[in-house]
Structure 1
Amino acid sequence: MTKKVYFLPMPKHRIFILAYEGCQLLDVTGPAAVFGAANEGHGQDFYDLVIVSPGGGAVTSNCGVAIQSRKIGGQPDTLLVAGGSLGLKATMARDDLRRWLCSVAPKARRFGSVCTGAFVLAAAGLLDGKRVATHWAHCERLARKFPALEVDADSLYVVDGKVWTSAGVTTGIDMALALVEEDLGAATANLIARHFVLYARRPGYQSQFSPLLQAQTTAEAPFGKLIDWMQENLDQPLDVPTLAARAGLTERSFYRKFTEATGKTPAHFVEGLRLDAARTLLTRGLPIKTIAGKVGLTSPARLGQAFERRFGMAPSLFREMHRAA
C-alpha cells in the first residue's frame, strides 16, 4: 500500500506595523514594501502583513496621505511601531494602546520601532534596560525622558535581544532588510535591495553621521568636488599640500577654510573617510593588509591603531563580528 505524503503550507509570519494620526509615511510604507517584496521574491506569502492603528480605519500620515488600517487586536510575530511627530504625544498617552502593547510585545518573537516610534514603546515601559536607536534629532530627548534605557545615538539600527529599533525614515528599510535576512537568508534580502535599486545595504553599526554625507551637506565649493575625489582616491597621498593644490588654495588658507566648512581638520576628516571605508571592506572578508593598502593606511599596524582608537576594537575582531553572509 502506497503511503500518501501531505505537505502542509509554511505557516505565515504575522507582522503588525502600528500607524496613527500624523505618523511618518515612510516609517510605515518602507518596511511594508520590504516585507511585500520578500513575499514576491520567496515565491509564497511568508509574511502576513497588517497595518494596525488604535482606532482602525484610515489614518492620515504626516504628509497627508491616508493609510488604511485594522484596529489593534490579535497577536503578531513581529511588531513595529512607526515614528511620527504630529500625533506622537497623543499616541503615547493612550491607555488602550499601552495595554495592548504590554500584552502582545512580550509574546512576540520580535518587536521594535522605526524612528520616534521608540517613544511609544518606551512610554509603555517596554524598552527599560535596552539599548535602542532613534532619529539623531530626538536622541537627547529620548534619553532624558526615559533614563531606564540606553540610547545609541550613532547606529542606523540596534538589535538588543528581541528588540529591534532604527534611527528613522530610510533606516526602517535597512532594518526591515535585516529582519528578512534573519528569516529568509541573505540572498533574499540582497535580491530585494537590488530590486529597490539601493546603492548598498547598510549594516546597523553604520553611523547616522557619515563624514562624507555631512561634508556634502555643509561644505561649499570648491570642497564638494574635492571631497568626492578624496573618497575615490583613499589610497593616494591626501596631505594638506596635495589637497590645497587641488583646491587652488595656499596651504594655510586651505587648512582654515576646510576646517571651517567641515568642522574637522583635514587630517581628522581624511582618517574618518579611510576608517569608514575600512569598516565596509572588513565585512567582505578581505585580508587586513589588502584593506590597509586600499584605504591609504599603508600597513596593518597603522590601520589597527587607528581603527581601535576610533571603534574600540581590533579590525580582526570587527571582521569576525560583521562578516557578510
Structure 2
Amino acid sequence: MSKLRQIALIAFDGFQILDITGPASVFSAANDALGKPYYQVVTVSAKGGLVSSHSGISVQSQSYQSSKLVSIDTLLIAGGSADGLEALSRNEPFMKWIKQTVQGTRRYGSVCTGAFVLGHLGLLKKKKVATHWSSCEKLATLYPDAEVDANALFVNQGKLWTSAGVTTGIDMSLEMVAQDLGTEIANIIAKRLVLYVKRPGYQSQFSPLLKAQENAVPKFLKLVEWLGKHLDQNIDIPRMAEQVAMSERTFYRKFTQCFGETPRNYVEKLRLDNVRILLSSKAPLKQIALLNGYSTAAQLTKSFERQFGISPALFRKMHCT
C-alpha cells in the first residue's frame, strides 16, 4: 500500500471547532470518494489528549512529540480565541517544532486567525495572505511585511495556504484535494458534504447579499433575494419600488440610505459578483452576459473592466484554469 499523506491540524485550548472539523471532514471524505485511504488526518496539540474548543466541545489530539507524526504532508493551524492564540505563541518548544516541521512539508498554512501564529513565526513575510475579515487590519498592522487580502476566501502562495476562517477552511481544503486528486473527486466531496458550491478563493468574503444581510431592513432583504433571481431581466427603479410597495422617490432615498449606494450601482455589483462565479465554468462569455442582464459580451466586458480593472477573459485565464 502506498504511503498515506498525513494532514496535521494544530489545535489549542480555545480553538475554533470548525477550523479543525471542516478540513478534517474534507480530507476524510476524499478517502471515501476514492474508496481507499489516501490521507491520514491527525489533530496535534502541545500536550496531546483532549483539547477544548472555544465552543466547549473537546477533541482528541496527539502531542507534537508523538512518534506517530512522521513525514507530515500538510500542516494547518486553526484559529481561535485571542487568549488561546497568545498561549500557543508563547509555547516556545511547540512553536519551534511547527517552524521546523513546515520546512519539510509539501504545504502548510492556517485557517482564520491561525494566520497570527504563522506571522509570529515569521512565515508571512512578503506573502499575500487571508484571515477573517474582522482581523485583517490587526494582522496587517502586526505583520506589515505581509499583504493581507481582506476579500479573499483563501490564498495560495507556493507552499503557504491561508483562509478567511470557519467555513472557508473547507473551501481551501477542497482546493487542496482538487490539486491532489482532480476536480472530479473534489466535486464528489462537495456533493457528499452538501455544499452549495465549491467556491474559488478569489470570491469575496462579503458578497453584496451578505452585506445586505448585515445592513438591510427585512423589506429590502426580500428585495435583494428577488434581485438575485432576476439578474437576467431588465431591473429599473419602478420595478424595484413596486417590489417593496414604495413610491419611486421614497424607495430611492431609503435604499440609498440603507446601502450607501444607488440601486443601480448595487444591482450592477450583484450582477458582476455573479459573473465572477460563472467565469469558473466553461460557459461562453455571451451566455454569461445574457444570464446577468447584459445584452452583449462587449457590454459585460466594459462593466467588468470598470469594476475590477481587468477583462473577464483575463480574469478567467488567471483564476479559473
Class of the TM-score when normalised by the shorter of the 2 chains: over 0.9
Mapped partners of 1:228, 1:103: distance in 2? 49
Report how far residue 90 of structure 1 moved.
1.2
Mapped partners of 1:12, 1:27: distance in 2? 22
Mapped partners of 1:285, 1:264: distance in 2? 32
Matches within 5 A, 1:153-232: 153-232=150-229
Corresponding residue of 2:260: 263
Q: Deviations over 1:121-160 (max 9, x none)?
A: 1101111111100000000000001111110100000001
2:118 equivalent to 1:121: yes
Mapped partners of 1:196, 1:227: distance in 2? 27
2:3 equivalent to 1:11: yes
Corresponding residue of 2:309: 312
Q: 1:29 aligns with which of 10, 18, 21?
A: 21
Query: Which consecutive segments of 4 or more residues in structure 1 shift more than 6 A?
Result: none
Mapped partners of 1:106, 1:72: distance in 2? 15
Corresponding residue of 1:281: 278
Report how far residue 88 of structure 1 moved.
1.0
Q: Deviations over 1:225-254 (max 9, x none)?
A: 211111111121212122112221111111
2:104 equivalent to 1:107: yes
Mapped partners of 1:52, 1:221: distance in 2? 44
Corresponding residue of 1:235: 232
Mapped partners of 2:4, 2:192: distance in 1? 23
C-alpha root-mean-square deviation of aligned residues, in Å? 1.3
Q: Secondary structure at the match of 2:218?
A: coil
Report how far residue 83 of structure 1 moved.
0.2
Give yes or no for contact 2:10–2:45 (8 Å, CA) kept in 1.
yes
Mapped partners of 1:68, 1:235: distance in 2? 50
Give yes or no for contact 1:285–1:319 (8 Å, CA) kept in 2.
no
- Supply the AA of the counterpart residue of 2:290: G
State how many pairs are aligned.
316
Report how far residue 203 of structure 1 moved.
0.7
- Supply the AA of the counterpart residue of 1:260: Q
Report how far residue 263 of structure 1 moved.
2.7
Q: Secondary structure at the match of 1:32?
A: helix
Q: 2:37 aligns with which of 24, 45, 65?
A: 45
2:72 equivalent to 1:80: no
Q: Deviations over 1:96-120 (max 9, x none)?
A: 1221122111211000000000001
Indicate the larger mover: 243-252 or 52-61: 243-252
Indicate the larger mover: 165-174 or 34-43: 34-43
Give yes or no for contact 1:92–1:120 (8 Å, CA) kept in 2.
yes
Corresponding residue of 1:65: 57
Mapped partners of 1:322, 1:144: distance in 2? 28
Report how far residue 221 of structure 1 moved.
3.0
Q: Secondary structure at the match of 1:206?
A: coil
Report how far residue 216 of structure 1 moved.
2.9
Q: 2:12 aligns with which of 3, 12, 20?
A: 20
Report how far residue 222 of structure 1 moved.
1.8
Corresponding residue of 1:3: none
Give yes or no for contact 1:285–1:323 (8 Å, CA) kept in 2.
no
Q: Secondary structure at the match of 1:303?
A: helix
2:276 equivalent to 1:298: no
> What is the identity percentage for the equivalent residue pairs of Structure 1 and Structure 2?
51
Q: Secondary structure at the match of 1:48?
A: strand
Q: Secondary structure at the match of 2:203?
A: coil
- Supply the AA of the counterpart residue of 1:80: L
Mapped partners of 2:125, 2:320: distance in 1? 30
Matches within 5 A, 1:239-250: 239-250=236-247
Tell me, which stretches of 5 or more residues in structure 1 are unaligned?
A: 1-8
- Supply the AA of the counterpart residue of 1:77: D
Matches within 5 A, 1:125-140: 125-140=122-137
- Supply the AA of the counterpart residue of 1:303: L
Report how far residue 10 of structure 1 moved.
2.0
Mapped partners of 2:2, 2:157: distance in 1? 28
